[in-house]
Amino acid sequence: MSEQDERTIRHVEEFGCSIVSVERTKYGLGWSYTLGVFDTTGKPEIITVGLLPKTAHSALNHAAKLQRDGVDLTQGRHRGVVGEVECEFRAVDPKWVKQLMGWALWYYQGDEFPVLQAVYPDLENRFPGDEGFDESFEQPLMQPDAPMTKAENDFWASTDSNSSLFDWKFRDDPHTRVFLSESVHQGTQPVTYVSHDAEDGAWQFLGDSMSDGGGPVISCFHHPIDRDPSFAELADLPLGWYAERRGIGEPWTRNKHATEDEAE
């Protein structure tokens, strides 16, 4: 075992659990979880998303202690876990366990262990879904019956090495609006022309037909990048430049747009 693996096991033996924290990225929330609670007490492991590591460490240790003292965290709400607000503890879908709790999967040699998500409210004790909930406290809900909304989809993508959000290359936010031709949007033509417009900084992704006769289709920036990761090669395309290629897999050729004076 590595030194880090051995240290984790020592923590479980000495304190009853170890805490694993994964730092947030520029476009992805961080998360923290316990490891060893199920092994030492038979009670569920606990995970929370979006809290600072120091806050999460304290909260998870407190929640683990409550379980060791015989408290059923799934019943009601619990004050004092995170600041002065209450927390709910909700069962986590195994797909999230496999996605986020790699060290626990190693420790248990599989995913046959229960997990609860520590769901926290805003400062007024309003939970996600409650009227007036402060969206700055938004967190993905990882229960089996929870819908995959933008919060869940974005968080999942930010933890998926096959997604552009995992390591976003462009300066523009991945949710910036970009313009696609209809044929590119429908997938009937590959992108062969990308423009980074000087006037407003907008990005355009077009096929050979360039314009399909109708207006442009608006998309979140990361959607075309997810479909074709080779676009990441154009992350440094300057304002006022465009790039062309003959087809998917072909090299990009970059050129500067002609100014109005040059065009005349």
**Nearest 10 degrees: CA dihedral of 167, 169, 173, 175?**
-60
Res. 2: pLDDT tops 80: no
Domain that holds residue 241: 167-263
**116 and 196 fall within a common domain:** no
| 158 falls within a domain | no
Q: Coil, strand or helix: which one is 203?
A: strand
pLDDT at 211: 62
**140 and 216 fall within a common domain:** no
Res. 27: pLDDT tops 80: yes
Condensed to tens digits (0 to 9), the pLDDT of residues 216-261 reads: 899 999 999 998 888 999 999 999 999 999 988 899 999 999 876 5
pLDDT at 171: 92
3-state DSSP helix/strand/coil percent for the chain, to nearest 5? Answer: 30, 20, 45
Res. 1: pLDDT tops 70: no
**251 and 143 fall within a common domain:** no
> How far from the centroid of its chain's Cα atoms is residue 180's Cα?
24
Position with higher pLDDT, 15 vs 22: 22
How many structural domains are present in the chain? 2
**121 and 11 fall within a common domain:** yes
How many residues in total does the chain contain?
A: 264
Token duo for residue 45: 């492991």
| 155 falls within a domain | no
Q: Given pLDDT bands bounded at 50, 70 and 90, which one contains residue 13?
A: confident
Res. 264: pLDDT tops 60: no
| 179 falls within a domain | yes
Condensed to tens digits (0 to 9), the pLDDT of residues 40-94 reads: 999 999 999 999 999 999 999 999 999 999 999 999 999 999 988 999 999 999 9
Q: Given pLDDT bands bounded at 50, 70 and 90, which one contains residue 125?
A: very high
pLDDT at 213: 58
Condensed to tens digits (0 to 9), the pLDDT of residues 81-91 reads: 998 899 999 99
| 156 falls within a domain | no
Q: Given pLDDT bands bounded at 50, 70 and 90, which one contains residue 152?
A: very high
Q: What is the mean pLDDT of residues 20-36?
A: 93
Cβ-based neighbours of 259, under 8 Å, separated by 6 or more? none
- What DSSP designation does 259 have? P
**119 and 221 fall within a common domain:** no
pLDDT at 262: 58
| 146 falls within a domain | yes
**190 and 141 fall within a common domain:** no
**61 and 178 fall within a common domain:** no
| 159 falls within a domain | no
Q: Given pLDDT bands bounded at 50, 70 and 90, which one contains residue 105?
A: very high
pLDDT at 159: 95
As a whole number of angstroms, the distance between CA 21 and CA 46 comes to 12
Of 150, 180, 198, the position where a domain reaches its end is: 150
**140 and 172 fall within a common domain:** no
Condensed to tens digits (0 to 9), the pLDDT of residues 183-210 reads: 888 888 899 999 999 888 999 999 987 6
**108 and 139 fall within a common domain:** yes
| 117 falls within a domain | yes
**195 and 99 fall within a common domain:** no
Mean residue pLDDT of the chain comes to 91
Token duo for residue 184: 């590119």
**17 and 52 fall within a common domain:** yes
**146 and 202 fall within a common domain:** no
| 157 falls within a domain | no
What's this model's pTM, rounded to 2 decimal places?
0.82
Of 94, 121, 150, the position where a domain reaches its end is: 150
Q: Is 80 left (phi over 0), alpha (psi -120 to 50) or beta?
A: left
